[in-house]
Structure formats: C-alpha cells, structure tokens
Homo-oligomer: A and B are copies of this chain.
C-alpha cells in the first residue's frame, strides 16, 4: 500500500503548503461578509453552490453555517428559496469555469446577490464576476499549462492525487477553518452548534 501512504502524504503536504499561501486580505473580506450576513440574519440568506466534489465541499460548509445559525441553502437541493440583494452566494470551483456554476452565479449577480468565489484561478469567469475572490490553490482539472501553480508549490512532476482532489481537500479544510473563526467572532460554542445539529439525519 505504498501508493496510499504516498498519496495521503502528498495531500496533507499540499493542504499545509496551500493554506500558507492564502491571501489574508481575500480571506478577511470573506469572513467579514459572512459575519455581516449573520448580524443581519433575519433579512439575509446564503446560497452555496459547486459542481461534483466541489459541490459536496460546499454542502459540508453549508451544514456548519446552519449549525452557526445561518439561513443557508445549497443549489441542487429541494428546499431553496429566492435570493436577492445583499444575500450571499458562496460558489466553489477549482477551475472557475464549470459551466452550470458560472451560469448560476451570473443569475445570482443579476438579482443583486454578493458573490464569493472560492477558486484557484483569479482570472477565471467565476472569479471575474465575483465580488470577493478567495484563491485556494489546487491542481485543477483544466489544461496542463495552467497546472504549474500547483506544481510550483510542491515541486512535483507527477502528482498522485487525481483531478480536483487537492483543491477539494484544501477547500474543505480551509472552510472548516472559516467556521472556527466565525464561531469565535459570533461567540458560539460547540454546545450552541450541537443544539442546531440534526438529531434525525441521513
């Protein structure tokens, strides 16, 4: 099982390096937008979106936002209300080019929502339409020449983790960090989260 151990080392090493490369002003703007949304909780909603595994990471983040007391929804689920001005959209796409996510984010922008893009590419269509961009490094699925960003970090030639894995796992840990920061800013304890956590779930 050499490959398994090498792969988990690669992934953990990547996440660790990647998180050190986060741009503090970007992260700071994201946290402030989330904090502000909470303060105006009765008026404001959050809609998360992402395709494939990025969509699952978006949902894992949304679940914790729910536990913090947010009015939060995930694109693709049954129970999603209309959104409007000042509502927040968190769109996750490593490449920033996933067609349905760009289309959905554009639609959200058109109704006045504020868009936060979590992506590896600040020049991507998703990033360009976003109000706040948080660059999260990843070896994304798009063309190899755009891939050097990830390789640069680790100095590797043949990464083991396939497709979007490094981006997705890094985004997962980063967003779990965002939750901890919000807990402290909003004065929430683990006990508070537990009270909202589903008691009947699948």
Interface residues of A (CB under 8 A from B): 1, 3-8, 11-12, 15-16, 19, 24, 27-28, 31, 47, 51-53, 55-57, 59-60, 62-64, 66-67, 72-84, 98-101, 103-104, 107-108, 111, 141, 160-163, 165, 168-169, 172-174, 176-181, 183-184, 190, 193-202
User: Quick check: B4 and A200 within 8 Å, CB to CB?
Assistant: no
- B residues in contact with A27, CB < 8 Å: 1, 4
Task: Pull 6 A–B residue pairs with CB atoms less than 8 Å apart, ordered by A.
Answer: A7-B177, A7-B180, A77-B78, A77-B79, A104-B202, A169-B173
Docked CA distance A64–B109 (Å): 25
Docked CA distance A161–B176 (Å): 7
> Which single member of B111, B160, B181, B184 contacts A199 (CB below 8 Å)?
B111
User: Quick check: B172 and A172 within 8 Å, CB to CB?
Assistant: yes
CB distance from A24 to the nearest CB of B (A): 7
- B residues in contact with A190, CB < 8 Å: 162-163
Docked CA distance A179–B92 (Å): 23
Question: Assuming the A-B contacts A4-B31, A56-B78, A179-B162, are A202 and B12 also in contact, with contact meaning beta carbons closer than 8 angstroms in the complex?
Answer: no
> Closest residue of chain B to A84, judged by CB?
B199
Docked CA distance A107–B57 (Å): 24
- B residues in contact with A174, CB < 8 Å: 8
